Structure 1
Amino acid sequence: MDVLSQVESWKLFKKMAGDTVDSSDLNPIATKVAKRCSGLPLAIVTVARALRHRSKHAWRDALRQLRSSTTNDVKGVYANVFASLELSFNFLKDEETKACFLLCSLFKEDLDIPIEYLVRYGTGLRIFQDVHTLEEARDRVHTVVENLKACCLLLDSDVEDCFRMHDVTRDFLLKVACRGLYIFLEKMIPAYPDSLHGNNVGNYYAISMVLNDLEEFPFGIDFPKLQLCRLEGSVGLVQFSGNKNYFDGMKELKAVLMHHVFIPSIPSLFLTLRKLVTLCLEHCKLGDLSNIKELKHLEILSFMHSDIEKLPKEIRELSHLRLLDLSDCKNLTGIPFGVFSNLV
Structure 2
Amino acid sequence: MSCQSIIELCLLTQEEAWDLFKRRANIKDDCSNELKGVVRNITDECKVLPIAIVTVGSALKGKSFVEWKSALLKLKESQPMDIEKGLSNPYACFELSYNHLSSSTAKSLFLLCSMFPKDYSINKEDLVRFGNGILVLGESIDSMEKVRTEIDVAINVLLDSCLLILDREQESIVKIHDLVRDVALWIARNQSQSFLVDRKAVPRLLMENETVKDTKVISLWDLEENFKLSDEFHCPTLTSLLLHSRVLKFEEPNIYLGGMKALKVLALIRFSFKWSINMWYHRETWSVPQSIVQLTNLHTLCLRGNALGDISFLVTLEQLKILDLRGSSFVELPNKIADKKKLKLLDFSDFSAYDFGDIEESRALSMKGYNVSSISSSMNDLFLSAELLQLRKCRIDNKDYLSSKVKRLEFEVCPDMKFIVDDRIKAKSNNLEIEQVFSHLLSLELDQMESLEQVFQDSSINISLQNLQSLSIEKCPLMHNISFPKASNLSKLKKLHLRRCRMLKSALFTPSIAQTLVLLEELHIYECSKLKHIIEEHDEEGNVLGNRNDGYSMSAFQNLRRIKAHYCNELVSILPLSFVWNLSRLECIDVTYCHNLKYVIGERKDDWVSLYQRKENKSVEIEINLPALKELYLYSV
TM over 0.5: yes
**Does structure 2 conserve the Cα–Cα contact (< 8 Å) formed by 1:228 and 1:253?**
yes
1: CA distance, partners of 2:114 / 2:339: 34
Specify the alignment match of 2:24 in structure 1: 16
TM-score (norm 2): 0.50
1:321 has 2:330 as partner: no
Q: CA deviation at 1:219?
A: 1.1
Kindly provide the amino acid, as one letter, of the partner of residue 254 in structure 1: K
Specify the alignment match of 1:80 in structure 2: 89
In the TM superposition, what are the counterparts of 1:101-140 in structure 2 within 5 Å? 101-125=110-134, 127-129=136-138, 130-140=140-150
**Does structure 2 conserve the Cα–Cα contact (< 8 Å) formed by 1:267 and 1:291?**
no
**What secondary structure is seen at the aligned counterpart in 2 of 1:264?**
coil
**Does structure 2 conserve the Cα–Cα contact (< 8 Å) formed by 1:263 and 1:284?**
yes
Q: CA deviation at 1:101?
A: 0.6
Q: CA deviation at 1:263?
A: 7.2
1: CA distance, partners of 2:208 / 2:305: 27
1:151 to 161, 172, 196: 161
1: CA distance, partners of 2:222 / 2:194: 17
**Does structure 2 conserve the Cα–Cα contact (< 8 Å) formed by 1:299 and 1:321?**
yes
**What secondary structure is seen at the aligned counterpart in 2 of 1:171?**
helix
**What secondary structure is seen at the aligned counterpart in 2 of 1:287?**
coil
Q: Which moved more, 1:286-295 or 1:173-182?
A: 173-182
**What secondary structure is seen at the aligned counterpart in 2 of 1:100?**
helix
1:302 to 324, 327, 337: 324
1:96 has 2:105 as partner: yes
2: CA distance, partners of 1:267 / 1:224: 18
1: CA distance, partners of 2:309 / 2:29: 62
Q: CA deviation at 1:85?
A: 0.7
In the TM superposition, what are the counterparts of 1:201-240 in structure 2 within 5 Å? 201-210=212-221, 212-215=223-226, 217-220=228-231, 221-233=233-245, 235-240=246-251
**What secondary structure is seen at the aligned counterpart in 1 of 2:163?**
coil
**Does structure 1 conserve the Cα–Cα contact (< 8 Å) formed by 2:223 and 2:248?**
no
1:336 to 359, 373, 376: 376
Q: CA deviation at 1:311?
A: 3.1
2: CA distance, partners of 1:21 / 1:196: 56
Q: Which moved more, 1:296-305 or 1:189-198?
A: 189-198
**Does structure 2 conserve the Cα–Cα contact (< 8 Å) formed by 1:190 and 1:214?**
no
Change (3 A) 1:283 1:42: same
Change (3 A) 1:230 1:313: same
1:187 has 2:199 as partner: yes
Deviations along 1:254-306, one digit per CA (max 9) or x if unpaired, are: 11111138773346131111111111111223121012100011111101122
1:57 has 2:71 as partner: no
**Does structure 2 conserve the Cα–Cα contact (< 8 Å) formed by 1:189 and 1:211?**
no
Deviations along 1:127-157, one digit per CA (max 9) or x if unpaired, are: 2113121111101111111110111000011
**Does structure 1 conserve the Cα–Cα contact (< 8 Å) formed by 2:250 and 2:268?**
no
Kindly provide the amino acid, as one letter, of the partner of residue 154 in structure 1: L
**Does structure 2 conserve the Cα–Cα contact (< 8 Å) formed by 1:105 and 1:184?**
no
**What secondary structure is seen at the aligned counterpart in 2 of 1:9?**
helix
Kindly provide the amino acid, as one letter, of the partner of residue 336 in structure 1: S
- State percent identity of aligned pairs: 30
**Does structure 2 conserve the Cα–Cα contact (< 8 Å) formed by 1:310 and 1:332?**
no
1: CA distance, partners of 2:29 / 2:60: 10
Q: CA deviation at 1:171?
A: 1.6
Structure 1 unaligned blocks of 5 or more: none
Higher helix share: 1
2: CA distance, partners of 1:269 / 1:21: 64
Q: CA deviation at 1:212?
A: 2.6
2: CA distance, partners of 1:301 / 1:279: 5
Deviations along 1:74-116, one digit per CA (max 9) or x if unpaired, are: 2344332212111111111132111111001100011110111
Kindly provide the amino acid, as one letter, of the partner of residue 193 in structure 2: L
1: CA distance, partners of 2:329 / 2:29: 57
Q: CA deviation at 1:215?
A: 3.6
Change (3 A) 1:21 1:285: farther
**Does structure 1 conserve the Cα–Cα contact (< 8 Å) formed by 2:24 and 2:58?**
yes
Specify the alignment match of 1:47 in structure 2: 56
Q: Which moved more, 1:283-292 or 1:176-185?
A: 176-185
Q: Which moved more, 1:34-43 or 1:15-24?
A: 15-24
**Does structure 1 conserve the Cα–Cα contact (< 8 Å) formed by 2:79 and 2:89?**
no
Q: CA deviation at 1:44?
A: 0.7
Change (3 A) 1:65 1:310: same
Specify the alignment match of 1:285 in structure 2: 307
1: CA distance, partners of 2:202 / 2:83: 30
Q: CA deviation at 1:48?
A: 0.5
Change (3 A) 1:263 1:184: farther
Q: CA deviation at 1:325?
A: 1.1
Change (3 A) 1:189 1:65: closer
Kindly provide the amino acid, as one letter, of the partner of residue 381 in structure 2: V
Change (3 A) 1:88 1:189: closer
Kindly provide the amino acid, as one letter, of the partner of residue 80 in structure 2: T
Deviations along 1:157-199, one digit per CA (max 9) or x if unpaired, are: 133311011111112112222332122233257843643411x
**Does structure 1 conserve the Cα–Cα contact (< 8 Å) formed by 2:301 and 2:320?**
yes
**Which of structures 1 and 2 has the bigger CA Rg?**
2
Name which structure has the greater RCO, CA cutoff 8 Å, separation 6+.
Answer: 1
Deviations along 1:228-268, one digit per CA (max 9) or x if unpaired, are: 111111x4133312x79822211111111111387733461
Specify the alignment match of 2:396 in structure 1: none
Kindly provide the amino acid, as one letter, of the partner of residue 226 in structure 1: L
**What secondary structure is seen at the aligned counterpart in 1 of 2:346?**
strand
Q: CA deviation at 1:206?
A: 1.6
**What secondary structure is seen at the aligned counterpart in 2 of 1:229?**
strand
**Does structure 1 conserve the Cα–Cα contact (< 8 Å) formed by 2:293 and 2:316?**
yes
Kindly provide the amino acid, as one letter, of the partner of residue 186 in structure 2: K
Change (3 A) 1:122 1:216: closer
